[in-house]
């Protein structure tokens, strides 16, 4: 299997802070689906941001889709990101635009012809079960439907790689499982998928390789329902 992503002793540090990631090494094969797990602050989101070239490693080497990101020039970043679809926990939709306009945005930015945009948007919405919702405004949709709009926007350009950061964090269990099954279907079609998640039940329902982070390092530990419960209790205590 050809590596699509390779981390070689990668480190990242926030300005004036401690290491978020330290000596991280792993590879993800083309067409693979993996979960990135670990407690809050372990570096899951930073890892995804590094892959998308939203930030740059301070140490080590990171190669994504054949591109050494340390050597990537600023003017090359937009073209590099065109091959990546990103899905966020908080949807990041434009609430003053229709579902169609939200999904079409990456195509408009890339200068696609109007007829091609319409065809691609409808195909993307069909793949997430939202065909017929093109003219609806996002805020009239349920949380699960809004997340599926975000997924349609991520896949409308037919990316080689999908990065999803806690994509089920705001969804009820039934909808969360359906969203995860959607990622599995895209993976079955050959798309490489990385999902940062706390959702132990979903990992168990749809098992894939796990890359587990703790204190900025990859470990052999695996997430458990008990560890997730402890984290939720601590988070509630801080609110």
Give residue-wise pLDDT tens across range 64-93.
999 999 999 999 999 999 999 999 888 889
pLDDT digits (tens, 9 = 90+) for 148-189: 999 999 999 999 999 999 998 888 888 889 889 999 999 999
How confident is the model at residue 53, as a pLDDT? 95
Q: Are strands 3-13 and 209-214 parallel, antiparallel or unpaired?
A: unpaired
The pLDDT of residue 226 is above 80: no
Q: Return d(Cα 20, Cα 217) in angstroms, integer.
A: 9
Which class for 192: exposed (0-12), middle (13-18), buried (19 or more C-beta within 10 A)?
A: buried
What percent of the chain has a predicted confidence (pLDDT) above 90? 75
d(CA 137, CA 135): 7
What is the pLDDT, as a whole number, of residue 1?
73
At 238 the pLDDT is 41
Give the residue from 57, 53, 89, 78 showing the smallest Cα distance to 165.
Answer: 89
At residue 199, the 3 state secondary structure works out as coil
pLDDT of residue 90: 85
Residues found in the chain? 239
What are the backbone dihedrals phi and psi of residue 53, each rounded to the nearest 5 degrees, phi first?
60, 35
Is 45 strand, coil or helix? helix
Q: What pLDDT, on a 0 to 100 scale, did the predictor assign at position 188? A: 94
Percent of the residues in the chain that have a pLDDT greater than 70, as a whole number:
93
Burial class of residue 24 in the structure, from the number of CB atoms within 10 Å of its CB (0-12 exposed, 13-18 middle, 19+ buried): buried
Work out the number of other CB atoms within 10 angstroms of the CB of residue 44: 26
Q: Which residues pair with 7 in a beta bridge?
A: 26, 62
Distance CA 126, CA 123 (A): 5
The pairing of beta strand 209-214 with beta strand 33-37: parallel
pTM for the whole structure:
0.88
CA–CA separation, 50 vs 54, rounded Å? 6
Q: What is the predicted pLDDT for the residue at 231?
A: 52
Contact 164, 196 (CB under 8 A): yes
Rounded Cα–Cα distance for residues 94 and 224 (Å): 36
Contacts of 115 (CB under 8 A, 6+ apart): none
Which domains does the chain show, CATH number per domain? 1-83+163-171+191-239 (3.40.50.300)
pLDDT at 89: 83
């Amino acid at each position: 299997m050809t590596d699509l992503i390779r981390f070689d002793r990668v480190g990242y540090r926030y300005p004036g802070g401690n290491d978020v990631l330290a000596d991280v090494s792993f590879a993800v094969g083309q067409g693979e689906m993996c979960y990135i797990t670990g407690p809050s602050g372990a570096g899951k989101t930073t890892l995804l941001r590094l892959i998308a070239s939203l930030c740059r490693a301070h140490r080590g080497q990171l190669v994504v889709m054949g591109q050494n990101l340390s050597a990537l020039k600023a003017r090359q970043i937009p073209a590099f990101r065109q091959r990546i679809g990103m899905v966020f926990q908080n949807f990041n939709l434009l609430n003053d635009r229709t579902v169609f306009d939200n999904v079409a945005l990456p195509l408009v930015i890339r200068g696609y012809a109007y007829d091609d945009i319409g065809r691609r948007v409808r195909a993307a919405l069909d793949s997430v079960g939202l065909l017929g919702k093109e003219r609806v405004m996002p805020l009239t949709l349920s949380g699960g439907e809004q997340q599926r709009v975000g997924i349609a926007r991520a896949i409308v350009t037919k990316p080689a790689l999908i990065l999803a950061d806690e994509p089920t964090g705001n969804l009820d269990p039934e909808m969360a499982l359906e969203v995860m099954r959607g990622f599995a279907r895209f993976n079955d079609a050959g798309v490489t998928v990385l999902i940062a998640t706390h959702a132990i039940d979903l990992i168990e329902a749809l098992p894939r390789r796990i890359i587990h982070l703790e204190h900025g390092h990859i470990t052999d530990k695996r997430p458990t329902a008990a560890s997730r419960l402890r984290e939720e209790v601590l988070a509630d205590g801080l609110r």
